[in-house]
Amino acid sequence: MFAEWGTPETTPEVGTLAADQLPHEHLRNLYGYWAARIEGGQIPARNDIDPLDLKPFLPNLLILEQVPVGSRHRYRYRLCGTAITRIVGRELTGLALQDALPEPYLSYVILTHDLATEKQRPVYSETLYHDQGDFVNGMTYRIVLPLRAVAPRGPMVLVSQHWVRRGEKEDWGIDWRNARPITQLVYP
């Protein structure tokens, strides 16, 4: 469940988490919305998600599309909520993850997105967050919800991301001295 962090070659251990154990109501509610759209054992596609239903979640939402590049792929931001734009200090819509995030954080975020799309399961994660020194001593919490590919588009991920800075009063229960990335597949 925990892994040492700090080098690009570090791969965190992946655990599991029951959906009702997600550490914040906001994440549980978005998971519930996503899970209610599963039909016939298939995860929802992007067109199964109604933006009007997502209004309370929009400031902290990202939608990223997996785009093939040769024999590999990249993730491109299709939507970036206003809270995320404010925290990172720039608009991400249209950019690839590789153009927006520094290493080793980039490798970790790609890992969570790939895990969600490959396993067809939501992924909960929490990590320290440093954007090239602009936002130090923060924690980020996210749920990555996979969205089924529908031609001509590839798979997508719907992400809700939140931050807490050291000293802010929140109910996340952070131990800043021992913070390690947590990566968990979410099950009902």
| Domain range 14-187, its CATH number among 3.20.20.80, 3.40.630.30, 3.30.450.20, 3.10.105.10 | 3.30.450.20
Count Cβ atoms below 10 Å from residue 93 Cβ, excluding itself.
13
188 residues of the chain, pLDDT tens digit each: 222 333 334 567 899 999 999 989 999 999 999 999 999 999 999 999 998 999 999 999 999 999 999 889 999 999 999 999 988 889 999 999 999 988 888 898 999 999 999 999 999 998 877 655 554 467 889 999 999 999 889 999 999 999 887 666 665 566 666 677 889 999 99
Task: Supply the pLDDT for residue 133.
Answer: 53
- Confirm if 180 and 10 have CB atoms less than 8 A apart: no
CA dihedral (105, 108, 109, 114) in degrees, to 10, reads 160
- Confirm if 121 and 185 have CB atoms less than 8 A apart: yes
Task: Supply the pLDDT for residue 8.
Answer: 39
3-state secondary structure the chain: CECCCCCCCCCCCEEEEEHHHCCCHHHHHHHHHHHCCCECCECCEHHHCCHHHHCCCHHHEEEEEEEEECCEEEEEEEEECHHHHHHHCCCCCCCEHHHHCCCCHHHHHHHHHHHHHHHCCCEEEEEEECCCCCCCCEEEEEEEEEEECCCCCCCEEEEEEEEEECCCCCCCCCCHHHCCCEEEEEEC
pTM of the model: 0.88
d(CA 45, CA 119): 15
Task: Supply the pLDDT for residue 103.
Answer: 82
Task: Supply the pLDDT for residue 13.
Answer: 86
d(CA 14, CA 175): 20
Q: Hey, what are 170's tokens? A: 């929140």
Q: Give the N- to C-terminal CA distance of the chain in Å, as an integer.
A: 18
Task: Supply the pLDDT for residue 6.
Answer: 39
Task: Supply the pLDDT for residue 180.
Answer: 77
- Confirm if 60 and 25 have CB atoms less than 8 A apart: no
Report the amino acid identity of residue 11: T
Task: Supply the pLDDT for residue 176.
Answer: 60
